[in-house]
C-alpha cells in the first residue's frame, strides 16, 4: 500500500543523490591538480522497492520503485599499481643520489682540464727536466719546489673535498632519517584515523590519498614493503618494522647504518648515500692515498749510469747498475744536494705533523727542502780531494732520472686499491682511476634514467586510472545536472497533481 506522498519522497531522494554526485564532481574538479588525489565516484543504487514480500503484502501488482540512494563515495585506485610504483621509486631515489655523488666526484677530479692533478704532475716532471739542464742553478730548484708544492696542494685539496663530500653525505643521511620519521609518524596517525572512520562503514578517501602519497614519498627514501592490514598500513624495511598500526619504530643514522650492513636497507635514497659514501668516496680516497704514497715510496727500478757515486761510497761505479728504490723519496736519498761537503738528499715528500704515513691528505714537500732549495738533490757524483768529499754540481743524473719517472712503472700495493693495478706509471694509474670514475658515473646515470622512465610509466598508468579528467567530470556534471532538473520536474508535476487533488476536488456546487 503506497502512501500519498510516496512520489515526493522518491524525487527528494533523487535530488539528494544527484546533488551528492554533483558535489563529488566539484570535489574532483577542485582536486584535479592535487598531488596524490584519486578521483571519487558516487555509487548509486536503486533503493528498496515496495512491497517487501510477506503474508500481509498488498495485492497491488508490481514492485513499486522508491527512487535512488547512494551507498558509497569511493576512490578509484589500483593497489597493484601502487605497489609497482613503490618498487620503482626506490630505484629512482638510489640512482639519483649515486648519480649526483658521482658527478660531484667528477667535478672534484676535474678532468680533462688544465688544473687537475694530471697537469701539476706534468709540470712537476717538466721542472725536473729543466733542472737537469741547469743542475747547479738555484732558479731551477725553486721551480721544482713550486711544482712539488702545487702537486701536494692538489692532492691535499682533492682529499679535503672528498672529506667534505663524505661529511655532506653523513649529514644528508641524518636529514633523510628525520624526514622519513616525520612521514612514518604521519602515516601512523593516519592509520589510526582511517581505522576510526572506516569502522563506521565510510570510505576515508582523502585520508587514504594522503597516506598513499606519504608512502610513495617514503618509498623513494628507503626500500619499504607495504601491507594493508586491518589496523592500517604496516610498513617494513627489509626485516625491520617501521610502522605497525599506530606504532612507529623511528629511524636514526645509527639504525640505518646497521640496516645497511645487515642488508635490510638495500635501496632508496639513503641506501644510495651509504653506497656513495662507503663505496665510491671511500674507494677514490683509497686510490688517491695509494697514488700519493706510491709516488713517494713505491718501488721503482732505475738504472744508475756508470760514473755515479752511490751514497756512502767514494768510488764511481764502472758499469750501469739497475737497482730498486722506494719511490721519489728513495731516489732522492741516492743523490747529493748542493751542500758542501757532499750531503745526500732527504725524503722529498713527508707527511704533515700528527699524521701517520703519506696519504693524499697528509702529503707535503719536506719542510726542510721547502725552506732551503739547496737541499734538492740533482747530482749523483762526488769527488774526494784532501779527505773532503764534495758534490759535482754539474752532474744531472738524478734530475734526469726524476724527470723520466713519468714513464717509470711504480709498484702499487694492490690490497689497498683493489683495482687490480700492481705496476703502472703514476700517470696511467691516475688515468685508469678517472676512466673508471667515468664508467661508474655513466652507468649510474643510465640506471637513473631507466628507473625514472619506469617510474613515469607506472605513474602514468596510475594517473590513467585515478587521475581526474576534466572532460569526464564536465560530462558527468551535465548528466547529473539534467538528472537533477528532471527530478525537480517530477516533483513539480507531482506538486501540481496534489494541487489538483487538494484544491481542485470536492468543489461540487460552488
Partner 1 sequence: MALRVTPSMMHMQLTRNLTRNLTQMQELQNQVTTGRKINKASDDPVGITYSLRYRTELASNEQYQKNVDSALSWLDFNDTVLDQAGQVLHRVKDLVVQGSNGTNPQVALDSIRDEISQLKNQLLDISNSKVNGKYVFNGQTFDKMPYDPNTPNFDPKTVVTDTGEISYAVGVGVTLPINLTGNQVFGAVGETDNVFAVLDNIMAGLTAGSQGAVSAQIGNIESRMDKILNARSEVGARVNRVELMQNRLQDLELNLTDMKSKTEDADFEKLLIESKVNESIYQASLSVGAKVISPTLVDFLR
Which residues contact partner 1 (rule: CB under 8 A)? 32-33, 102-103, 106-107, 109, 111-112, 118-119, 121-123, 125-126, 129-130, 132-134, 136, 307, 381, 383, 392-396, 400, 403-404, 406-407, 427-428, 430-432, 434-439, 441-442, 445, 456, 459-461, 463-465, 467-472, 474-475, 478
* Alpha carbon distance 455, 35 (integer Å): 16
Q: How far is the CB of 205 from partner 1 (least distance, A)?
A: 18
Q: Which residues contact 29 (CB under 8 A, 6 or more apart)?
A: 468, 470, 473
Q: How far is the CB of 299 from partner 1 (least distance, A)?
A: 19
Nearer to partner 1, 7 or 24 (CB): 24
Nearer to partner 1, 121 or 190 (CB): 121
Nearer to partner 1, 130 or 372 (CB): 130
Nearer to partner 1, 244 or 476 (CB): 476
Nearer to partner 1, 32 or 192 (CB): 32
Q: Which residues contact 303 (CB under 8 A, 6 or more apart)?
A: 320, 321, 322, 323
Q: Which residues contact 9 (CB under 8 A, 6 or more apart)?
A: 3, 66, 67
The count of other CB atoms within 10 Å of the CB of residue 129 is 17
Give the three-state DSSP class for 211: helix
Nearer to partner 1, 352 or 406 (CB): 406
Q: How far is the CB of 493 from partner 1 (least distance, A)?
A: 28
The count of other CB atoms within 10 Å of the CB of residue 439 is 11
Nearer to partner 1, 51 or 130 (CB): 130
Q: Which residues contact 75 (CB under 8 A, 6 or more apart)?
A: 38, 39, 40, 41, 203, 205, 208, 209, 466
Q: How far is the CB of 249 from partner 1 (least distance, A)?
A: 34
Q: How far is the CB of 510 from partner 1 (least distance, A)?
A: 49
Q: How far is the CB of 473 from partner 1 (least distance, A)?
A: 9
Among residues 324, 371, 375, the alpha carbon closest in space to that of 348 is found at: 375
Among residues 244, 251, 248, 250, the alpha carbon closest in space to that of 195 is found at: 244
Rounded to 10 deg, the angle between the 138-199 and 268-275 helix axes is 160
The C-alpha angle 25, 27, 33, rounded to 5 degrees, equals 105
Nearer to partner 1, 237 or 468 (CB): 468
Asked whether the beta carbons of 452 and 88 are under 8 A apart, the reply is no
Q: How far is the CB of 213 from partner 1 (least distance, A)?
A: 14
- DSSP notation for 329-383: HHHHHHSB-S-SS--B---SEEE-TT--S--TTTEEE-HHHHH-GGG---B--EE
* Alpha carbon distance 1, 60 (integer Å): 7
Q: How far is the CB of 455 from partner 1 (least distance, A)?
A: 11
Amino acid at each position: 500500500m503506497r502512501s500519498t506522498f510516496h512520489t515526493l519522497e522518491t524525487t527528494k531522494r533523487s535530488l539528494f543523490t544527484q546533488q551528492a554526485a554533483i558535489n563529488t564532481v566539484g570535489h574532483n574538479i577542485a582536486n584535479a591538480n592535487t598531488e596524490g588525489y584519486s578521483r571519487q565516484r558516487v555509487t548509486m543504487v536503486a533503493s528498496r522497492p515496495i512491497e517487501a514480500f510477506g503474508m500481509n503484502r498488498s495485492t497491488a501488482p508490481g514492485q513499486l520503485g522508491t527512487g535512488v540512494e547512494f551507498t558509497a563515495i569511493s576512490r578509484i585506485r589500483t593497489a597493484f599499481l601502487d605497489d609497482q610504483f613503490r618498487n620503482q621509486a626506490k630505484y629512482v631515489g638510489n640512482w639519483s643520489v649515486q648519480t649526483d655523488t658521482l658527478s660531484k666526484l667528477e667535478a672534484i677530479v676535474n678532468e680533462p682540464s688544465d688544473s687537475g692533478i694530471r697537469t701539476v704532475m706534468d709540470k712537476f716532471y717538466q721542472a725536473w727536466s729543466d733542472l737537469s739542464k741547469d743542475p747547479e742553478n738555484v732558479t731551477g730548484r725553486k721551480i721544482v719546489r713550486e711544482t712539488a708544492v702545487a702537486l701536494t696542494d692538489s692532492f691535499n685539496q682533492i682529499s679535503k673535498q672528498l672529506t667534505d663530500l663524505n661529511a655532506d653525505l653523513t649529514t644528508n643521511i641524518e636529514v633523510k632519517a628525520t624526514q622519513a620519521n616525520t612521514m612514518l609518524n604521519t602515516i601512523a596517525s593516519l592509520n589510526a584515523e582511517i581505522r576510526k572512520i572506516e569502522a563506521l562503514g565510510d570510505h576515508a578517501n582523502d585520508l587514504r590519498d594522503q597516506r598513499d602519497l606519504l608512502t610513495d614519498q617514503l618509498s623513494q627514501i628507503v626500500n619499504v614493503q607495504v601491507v594493508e592490514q586491518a589496523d592500517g598500513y604496516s610498513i617494513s624495511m627489509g626485516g625491520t618494522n617501521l610502522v605497525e598500526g599506530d606504532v612507529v619504530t623511528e629511524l636514526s643514522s645509527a639504525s640505518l647504518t646497521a640496516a645497511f650492513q645487515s642488508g635490510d636497507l638495500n635501496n632508496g635514497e639513503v641506501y644510495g648515500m651509504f653506497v656513495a659514501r662507503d663505496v665510491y668516496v671511500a674507494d677514490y680516497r683509497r686510490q688517491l692515498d695509494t697514488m700519493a704514497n706510491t709516488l713517494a715510496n713505491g718501488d721503482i727500478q732505475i738504472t744508475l749510469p756508470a760514473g755515479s757515486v752511490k751514497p756512502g761510497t767514494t768510488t764511481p761505479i764502472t758499469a750501469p747498475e739497475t737497482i730498486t728504490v722506494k719511490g721519489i723519496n728513495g731516489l732522492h736519498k741516492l743523490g747529493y744536494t748542493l751542500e758542501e761537503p757532499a750531503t745526500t738528499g732527504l725524503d722529498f715528500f713527508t707527511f704533515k705533523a700528527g699524521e701517520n704515513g703519506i696519504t693524499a691528505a697528509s702529503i707535503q714537500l719536506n719542510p726542510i727542502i721547502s725552506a732551503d732549495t739547496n737541499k734538492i738533490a740533482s747530482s749523483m757524483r762526488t769527488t774526494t780531494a784532501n779527505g773532503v768529499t764534495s758534490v759535482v754540481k754539474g752532474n744531472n743524473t738524478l734530475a734526469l732520472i726524476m724527470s723520466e719517472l713519468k714513464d717509470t712503472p711504480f709498484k702499487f700495493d694492490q690490497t689497498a686499491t683493489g683495482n687490480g693495478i700492481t705496476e703502472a706509471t703514476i700517470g696511467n694509474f691516475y688515468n685508469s682511476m678517472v676512466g673508471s670514475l667515468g664508467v661508474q658515473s655513466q652507468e649510474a646515470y643510465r640506471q637513473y634514467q631507466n628507473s625514472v622512465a619506469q617510474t613515469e610509466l607506472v605513474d602514468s598508468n596510475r594517473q590513467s586510472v585515478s587521475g581526474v579528467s576534466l572532460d569526464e567530470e564536465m560530462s558527468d556534471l551535465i548528466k547529473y545536472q539534467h538528472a537533477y532538473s528532471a527530478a525537480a520536474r517530477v516533483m513539480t508535476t507531482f506538486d501540481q497533481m496534489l494541487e489538483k487533488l487538494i484544491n481542485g476536488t470536492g468543489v461540487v456546487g460552488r
